Amino acid sequence: MNYNQAIEIAEKVKALLSPHCDRIEIAGSIRRKKPEVKDIEIVAIPKPYDIGLFESGITPVVNQWEKVKGELPCKYTQRILPEGIKLDLFFAEPSNWGLIYAIRTGSADYSHKVLASGWVRRGYKSSGGYLYANGKQIAVTEEKDLFELIGVPYLAPELRIGQNLPEGQSKPHLEWEEELQIIRLFDR
């Protein structure tokens, strides 16, 4: 689907979800302004909601779309929108918004080679959508906080491709456990 069609659909979805969120933004290839878009990625901090018989808040909005995977409550759900494009909806909290938003903006190659490699190089571990240092969870409330934390200059989303490593930086060797953790981040 071309960018203009995708952004129009993404903005409609965002508008439907917004009343039920404390924060919500479009991420992925739309945020990177790619000419062709394969799916719509949205990151949200939902307001409290109920599921089941007394579903409320974001639940009835999300459940109107065909589920591919991820049953609410969850950190990630994939749905098929009526226009036929997939929606990848990622849920964050204020303390990990910056991390999730940066990773989900991508590209996957950039997130892996620059962001994840950067936090590994700085001694951080990732688990369950959070960064940890010495077993202590590190808040990453804004995307720019992540770049500062890992010592990488902030790069506009449309420039985030795998080849855009900061000058003089090469991809560090990652232990297989870290590689597996990074792969799992992108499979959710």
CB of 40 within 8 A of CB of 105? no
Q: How many of the other CB atoms lie within 10 Å of CB of 64?
A: 11
Domains 3-91 and 97-187 share a fold: no
DSSP state of 113: I
pLDDT of res. 173: 42
CATH architecture of 97-187: 2-Layer Sandwich (3.30)
Per-domain residue ranges for the chain?
3-91, 97-187
pLDDT of res. 164: 55
> What whole-number distance in Å separates Cα of residue 24 and Cα of residue 83?
21
Instruction: Look up the pTM and report it.
Output: 0.86
Please report, rounded to a whole number, the percentage of residues in the chain having pLDDT higher than 90.
84
Q: Which CATH superfamily is domain 3-91 in?
A: Beta Polymerase, domain 2 (3.30.460.10)
- What residues of the chain score a pLDDT lower than 50? 168-180, 182-183, 186-188
> What whole-number distance in Å separates Cα of residue 188 and Cα of residue 184?
6
pLDDT of res. 56: 94
User: Residue 25 half-sphere exposure, CB side, CA atoms within 13 Å?
Assistant: 17
φ, ψ dihedrals at 152, nearest 5°: -120, 130
